[in-house]
Amino acid sequence: MKKVLSIFLILFPVFFLPDLRAQQPPMSKEEFRSRQQEFITRRAGLTQEEAQKFFPLYFELQDKKGKLNREAWQNMRQGKDPNTTEAEYARIVEDMIQARITNDKLDLEYVRKYKKFLSAKKIYDIQKAEMRFHRELLKSAHHGEKGRPGNKEKR
């Protein structure tokens, strides 16, 4: 009986106390973009002039892609209805593929805009930094505030 009680007392905080990380307020859009801009600027080695030209276009692209993705998710939610017909599923599937194609076309359009003031190497470095930022952001969900992107030095 003492063993059971001891195990219960040890495990009680794990199962019944709220996770402290869950109490952190979510990052605002402005904070997210600020951290992302700082991270990408540092990791890609952008000059101040390059960053001033790049980020307005970059965030414009992100807004367009965000709108497109929200619309695509709305279409996907229609498929949750148990009365969805086969024709509706076919339309949903095609709409999802079209959304990905449109996203890719937007990426290409904006890369061409970036090429007017950035080298291909800088664009590559930006894309690499962006992927790293998102990877660290996902990791931070498991490690709390200290793991948020931008808080670590370049590796």
What pLDDT digit, counting tens, does each position of 8-52 carry?
Answer: 444 444 444 445 445 567 889 999 999 999 999 999 999 999 999
Dig out the tokens for 72 from the structure: 């695509």
Dig out the tokens for 82 from the structure: 């148990």
Contact 50, 117 (CB under 8 A): yes
CA distance 146 to 139: 11
Contact 155, 132 (CB under 8 A): no
CA distance 150 to 41: 11
Is 0.85 surpassed by the pTM of this model? no
CA distance 146 to 109: 36
